[in-house]
Each structure stands twice: as structure tokens, then as C-alpha cells.
Amino acid sequence: MLRVSVLSIAVSAALCASAHADDAGELQPTVQVTASRVAETVDQTLADVSVVTRQDIDASVARDVYDLLRLEAGVDLYRTGGSGQQTSLFLRGTNSNQVLVLIDGVRAAAATTGAFAFEQLPLDAIERIEIVRGPRASYWGSDALGGVIQIFTRKLEGPRVALSYGSYSDADGSAGIGHWDGANGYSIQVGARHVGGFSATNPGICNGPDDPYCSYDPDDDAYRNANLVLRGAHEFGGQLLSASLYRSQGQSQFDQGYTDIIEQTEGVNLAGELAPGWNHTLALGHAREDLDTPAYGTLYRTRRTSLLWQNEFRLDEAQRLVAGVDFAHDEGETRDTFAGTARYDESRNNSALFGGWRGAFGAFDAELSARHDHNSDFGGSTTGSLAFGWRASDALRAYASFGQGFRSPTMNELYDPGYGGYYAGNPELDPERSRSSELGIEFTPATNQRLKANLYSSRVNDLISFTGFQNQAINIAHAKIDGAELGWDATFGAWSARATYTWEDARNGDTGARLLRRARNKASAIVERAFGARFSAGAEVQYASRREDIGSVQLPAYALLNLRARYALDDAWTLSARAENVTDRDYELVHGYNTAGRSGWLEVTWQPRTR
């Protein structure tokens, strides 16, 4: 930890000395709302936050959320094959079901499995992504042990059409239109994608050449998707009424068959000022996921309805108070489609009260928050967090925090009858719980450069593991996660650069074994150059050290080089290109599953500039 801190200051000083004020662009702070449920800039919040903007997405020319988020510090993404195959996201070493995923403020993960299908999320449908690292249960409740990822759907201004084609018969297109007059307006976009794909698996998935249960098939595993995004808002009487709809419907093939999946979220919000210094938000949300795999005879269905009333009080210029009530009703069902019967069909309620105070006093600021949840399955859970900040100078800021988190058992973990009694759920499960601490330093030696370093330590107890009698779900496991992150952003005239480094030690707290598929060292870098007002080109480098996988398998380290470029033909037409894995590196993210080789895509976009 000391070496990381010293390295941060040394690198910052070197960069500061090399900067030239006359050709440096200014880095503007980005506004986010996820960390504390209210709008504040990233450089004000007392949490580690990064924001991926629509401009970042366009510049990347990425094909999937997977390609975009794997460049972020503290994020590990693993996919069992190509586009459309199952994708898991680990944030700061926590499991994929220990990261809260929101779409326009609506919880999007399934109550049955606890997972969110990132592979079904089209990039064209996204306006921005906010990533908050560290537990935020005191504001958001269950699942936010590792952090929160909030996805905001696209807000078009004027017409837009985009078409692309590339390797593995990857054809993608979207079209939409929007019009906004201040806060009032609408936006609608539809999209579709079809990928011929490649074989998701390789012979390594089998336990030797004589494995009688191996289902390896070298055929191409295709993927198709159709999606819709709607947004609208109207202001009246000092209140803003807004609504959003996101729907993604896709099919992913695998060796034994295919899976059909529907993801959908809807939200209606009423927000505005009720009195001087008092703003509120009343939000009604609904989420749906259907996951149907005919070859296995399984159908998972989730429905969630939520209601939130949040209030922000400005006590004075230096202090604010956030308080609210939160309610959710979950319905989960798993069906045996062979027999036409329900394996289980259950529902549950969760109600919560939460509050947070933030104050600034000269060079110091502080934040205190707490939340109490009552769940009809397991009773009550109270979580809290505390953070302090100190601005030593205009260029240097430090903060420290402590937070608690918890994860409610999924409905599968509670109610699934298993198979002949094996791998059954357990209605007596307790929530998983965590305690985390963090130290962060941000150094801005010049307006064109920013460097940050974060040290964190988490302990997760009562982890749910299928290791009981007949492999029944029980609370038994523990996890110890320690890590450090470095990040650097800079602009020098026509050049821009961004680099991240993550060191992470994630282990089973009982055995000391490393948690699966977490790289101990991970780094990324992006360098971009603008050639005039119309053309830009850049390169991405990604590195991950070796990782452990199931069966004591060691996945080798790998490094990837990706290239990207954009050319504005005129004020409306843009041509974009992306090349991935330029060196054609052969590597695996999950043992027995293939990754893409050298590949490329071209995209043409028509989007007239609004005046």
C-alpha cells in the first residue's frame, strides 16, 4: 500500500513537470448521481466513481459492453465464448451477483438467479454508464457489496441511423429520433443485431478425450438481438414528469441448443421542488426477465415492481440531507418445461428507510448514511457508511471511508428443489454481509491531468455455498479481498491518454485459495489523437495476469492490442472502424471456452447536428 501511494505521487509529479500549459486541453469534471442518489461531480463525491459517457462509447467503436467495461479499473469481465454468450462482471473481486445493476434507476438483475445479462445490453441503447466502487448498501440496499453500476438509456436529439458489419458475420443496425426543448421532449430508438459467431467451446471443456458426458460441438454459436429504448419528459408546475422503457430480446446458441432471453425495465418519475431547499423524486419502476432454455427444459421468470419516494433537503450552503422510503415486490418462478410444472413459484417484499447527510467545512467534508431493510424472507438488515474528505490544496484531495453491505439470497438459493434433492435451495439462509474500508487520493497537477489512487479492503461473511448435505445451499464461506487501483487521465493538445492499473488479492477466507477468474494484476491504456476536426485514431492495450479456474486450472496471462478510428465525412455522416486482438493472441477467459481472434468492424452513422 505504501509503495502504491509513493508511486502515485511520483508519477503525478513527473507528469506535472512534463505538461505544457499552452497546448493542454482542460479535463472537465463529470456529473453523476449514483454514489449518493443526488447529482454531484465526480471530483466532489467521497466514493470512487467513474463515468463512461456517450462520447467515450462513440470514440471506442466497441461492439459490446464487455469490450468497454473491461478497460475500467477494478472490473473483471468473463464471457463463455463470443458476443451474446453468458457474461459475468466482478467488481473489486466480488461476485457478479454482489454488484447492483440499475437501468434508469430500476433494479435490473433477476430475482431468480441474482445475475444481470450484460451480454444482452446493446451499446447503441446507452447514454452513459456510472460505476461506483465499494459498498453502497446504506443508500441502495441489497446486492451493492462490490459497488453499483447504473446504465442510463439513450437520449437522442434529432434523427440517427447507424449500420455496421464485421468479422464473424456481425451485422448491427439502429435507427431513432428525438426532440428536446429544454426538459421537455422525447426520444425513441430501435435496434437489431445478428452475429454468425464462432464455436463458443473448445476440446478443453471435456475431461479428457474419453469423457462420456462431454458435449463439445465445433459448430458456430450464433447470436441475435432486437431492442427498443423510449424516453420522454414534460415539465409542468415546477415538476418534471419523465418515463423510460428499455427492452432487449435475444437468442444465444450453445453446443446443446439455445437460450431465449427477454430483459425489460420501465420507469415513471415525478421530480421537482416542493418548497425552497426541498426537492423530491417519486419513482415507480418495473423490471422483467424471462430466460428459456428448451434443451434443459428450464424457464426462469422474474417480475419486480418498485416504488421510491426520495427527498433532498438543502440545510444550508454547506450541508444537505437525503432521506427516503423504498419498496420492492419480487415475483420469481422456475418451470420444468419438459413436465409443464412449476419447480417453484414464490414472491417476497422488501421495504426500507434510508438517509444520508453530507457537510462541507472549509477544507474538510464528511458524509454519513444509513439504511434499514425489512425483507419478508429473512427479516431486517441495517447497514451504514461513513466517509471523510480533506482537500489539502487545489491540486490534492484525500478521502477515507468505511461501509457495510449485504446481499439477499436469490429465489433459486432459497426455493429451488434441486435435482433429486441435490443442489437444492434453503429457506433458512441468511443474507451475505460485508465490511469494507477505503483510502483514496486524487492529484490534479494541472487542468489537463488527473491522477488517482485507491486502496481498499473488504471482508465478506456468510457467503452462500452449495456445500451442505447433498450440496444444499448453506451460509458457510468467507472472502478476503484487498486491492489497489491507479488511474490517470490527460490531454495534450490533439493527444489524449488514459491508463489504469489494478492489483487485487481476492481469497477464500477459510482456505486461503484465490477466488476464481480474478486477475491479481490488470492494466489498460488508451491513447487517442485528433487529426484536425474530422479524423481521430487511437489504440487500446489490455493486460491481465494469470487466473485460477475450476479444476485447479491456471489460465495464462495475456495482453491485447485494439485499434480504433473515426472520420466525419461531413456534418451528418461518420465512418468508424475498429480492429480487435490485432496480434491474434490465443487466450482464454474461462477454461474450455474460446475468445475472438484478430477481427474488425466498420460502421457508418448518419446523425445531423442539431442547431
Check if the beta carbon of residue 456 is closer than 8 Å to that of residue 147. Answer: no
Sole residue written with cell 432471453: 261
Check if the beta carbon of residue 387 is closer than 8 Å to that of residue 398. Answer: no
417-438: per-residue pLDDT in tens? 988 888 999 999 999 999 999 9
Please report the domains of the chain, with CATH numbers, ordered by start residue: 2-606 (2.40.170.20)
Question: Hey, what amino acid is at 253?
Answer: Q
* HSE (side-chain half, CA atoms, 13 Å) at 190: 1
Q: Which of 33, 611, 67 is nearest to 322 (CA)?
A: 33
Check if the beta carbon of residue 284 is closer than 8 Å to that of residue 307. Answer: yes
Where on the phi/psi map is residue 218: left (φ > 0), alpha (ψ -120 to 50), or beta? alpha
Q: What is the pLDDT of residue 288?
A: 97
Q: What value does the CA radius of gyration of the chain take, rounded to a whole number of Å?
A: 24
CB neighbours of residue 160 within 10 Å: 20
Q: What is the pLDDT of residue 563?
A: 98
* HSE (side-chain half, CA atoms, 13 Å) at 204: 19
Low-confidence ranges of the chain (pLDDT < 50): 1-23
447-459: per-residue pLDDT in tens? 899 999 999 999 9
> Cα(24)–Cα(11) distance, rounded to whole angstroms?
18
pTM: 0.93
